Amino acid sequence: MGSGSWPTGTWARYPAAEPRGHPVGSGSPTHREVLRPPSERIRVQSTLIAVHASTSTATDSPPSIDGFQSHNPGRDVQRVGTANFLGQDVRKIHDPVWAVIGNLGDSQCYIGVTAKVTAVQAAVARRISADDLPVRLIAPAYSVGVSDGQLNGTNEMRFSLIGRELVNDTVDVHLTANRVAGLIAVVACDKPPVGTVAAALEHNAPTVILSDGPIMPGTDPVTGERIDLVSAFQVAGDDDEVRARFALHACPGQGSCGGMFTYNTMQSFIGVLGLEPLHMVSPASADRRRIDEFPDQLIDCLIQMTDAGVRPRDIVTPASIRNALTVAIAMGGSTNVMLHSVEIARAAGLDLWRDVMSQNDFNALSRRLPVLVNMRPFGEYSMVDVDIAGGLAVIVDELLKAGFLEGDALTCTGETLAEQVSRLAPPPPDRDVLHPVSAPFKDTGGLRLLHGNLAPDGGAILKLAGVEGGITDGVFTGRARVFNGERSLLDALEERPESFEDNDLVVIRYEGPRGAPGMPEMLDPTSRITTLCRQRKITIALMTDARFSGGSVGLVIGHVAPEAYLGGPIALVEDGDTIVVDVNHDRIDCRQLDDPDVATARAAAWAAATDANGGVHPAVTPVTNRLLRRMRAGALPALKGGGLSATPSI
């Protein structure tokens, strides 16, 4: 795009901030001015202000700028000031707005974001100037997320999924209030990327996503073995020296979790969905390509989408969501994908279970789809190893050739998914990190949705790729150990680990979307249980109305609904009950609740305790925080994404 403007018909789809003035002429800022560091611009501008103050008189008139016109000086004056500060042509203040945004928070996940936002912002400014694009670039903005890794096992973990909702809200405010017509978003950690994508889909102006990138794995200085955040959680029960060693060395550098945990599950999902170029997903956060090469390529995508009139909802379709879910299963992805895919579909105007695939369709796909990656937490490698082995495109290519994906789905590059992969020309799987469909790492797909008398509407989720034992001929039969809340289980694991026995099935309840509220992850207890099982060579399963980190492994089942807070069947389970998990028939059942007299009596006792406590069961933790109260009043069930309802009852 070297001549200056797009076709009028294309830009008519994207409203300008105000009626545009005269055509833009000469006088755009030079590359040197656009690239001037902010600190230097501030120093130069401060000098100019001081000089002007010492030399101006009451009769001085500001210089006129050819082609500049203001219809409302009160609104325009700040646009002019911002354009001057950013080194932009003030005559473009009424042109359609482009924006660069990022996610920030307190962890290594977010440390690299600002440098990438700065690089993308500078690249966009250069392109606007060099090609005289009819665009007004506004200052970069950031939404705020939390650190799941730092909060797991604490009360504050309840804010993690809420963070997805808040990012959606804040990005929505930024895009809508500023009439953003084109967006490049740098995303990091688990929940902020999903909130960002949801807001972009709701706004539906051309958007391209750049993942900040995964962290490099750490190294245990004693054993030389690779370690990561999940390794650190799994040694919580070890001695002081081991705990200190892992804390000091498990997560070097910057970037989001490196295994096939939730971050990489969702970045792979977003890439296959079509909103991020495939080759940008797997490089490490510190990889120089993310600063030196990717920004200009993202701009090419944004220009292409704008030129062609392609919007996010043209890309995010039932076919592209099916593709993204297929890749998530084939990569042994996080159970959180079932919350986030529902939310992304909703933002695109779709009902995942009606328009994309049913629960039965999902399970049928998972049964015939193998796991193609040898990745943490169930394997050996990290996403940076996937990059060395050829990147995400290797997996997509394998699945395309095997007929698992719909190759004609459109992507942000302007190509179909199949065309993008063909251009990237990925190498064949190396059969170590990445495996072919003909010789997979695991024969069965990574995720399974369960139904039964504990989950009458289905939706309870099991990560088969992470199961390490305990299932015989497709069935696990366990003895219920009931805990009303995560904290009580952690106390038992810390103080009485010997009390847990082979074939126990731990039940954690009142931790669902409304019960906790916020549906926190159970990475801390699942990691401790995993270590206990490995040390004693036993199987302890876990069932909860909460959710799991992508780093959780073992026979763990989440999203059980209706949740205990609402009096769902999980609230009626008692210590010693027999719980049967049958992956042959995708069921989870409590044998005692098969007896209608038992089920009725327990439900009546639960209701009586709830009525006597003012309508909330006494096992539920009271909340006073504003956000937690909103979540308790308006959270949706897991099958609907677990987020906030648009019409909460408070």
- Strand 97-104 to 136-137 pairing: parallel
Q: ∠ CA 288-291-297 to the nearest 5 degrees?
A: 115
Catalytic residue among 143, 256, 549, 552: 549
Task: Please indicate whether residue 549 is annotated as part of the active site.
Answer: yes
Structure tokens given for 372: 């193609």
**Alpha-carbon torsion 478, 480, 481, 487, what sign?**
positive
Question: What is the C-alpha to C-alpha distance for residues 483 and 619, in angstroms, rounded to an integer?
Answer: 10
Q: DSSP per residue over 412-429, as a string?
A: TTSSBHHHHHHHH-PPPP
The alpha-carbon radius of gyration of the chain (Å, integer) is 26
Question: What is the C-alpha to C-alpha distance for residues 288 and 480, in angstroms, rounded to an integer?
Answer: 51
- Strand 578-582 to 475-483 pairing: antiparallel
Question: What is the C-alpha to C-alpha distance for residues 143 and 216, in angstroms, rounded to an integer?
Answer: 25
Q: Is 46 exposed, middle or buried (0-12, 13-18, 19+ CB in 10 A)?
A: exposed
Element (H, E) at 99: strand 97-104
Query: CA–CA distance from 425 to each of 300, 396, 409, 611 (Å)?
Result: 20, 11, 18, 63
**Alpha-carbon torsion 153, 154, 158, 164, what sign?**
negative
What lies within 8 Å, CB to CB, of 600 at 6+ separation is none
Q: ∠ CA 393-252-486 to the nearest 5 degrees?
A: 90
Residues labelled catalytic: 549
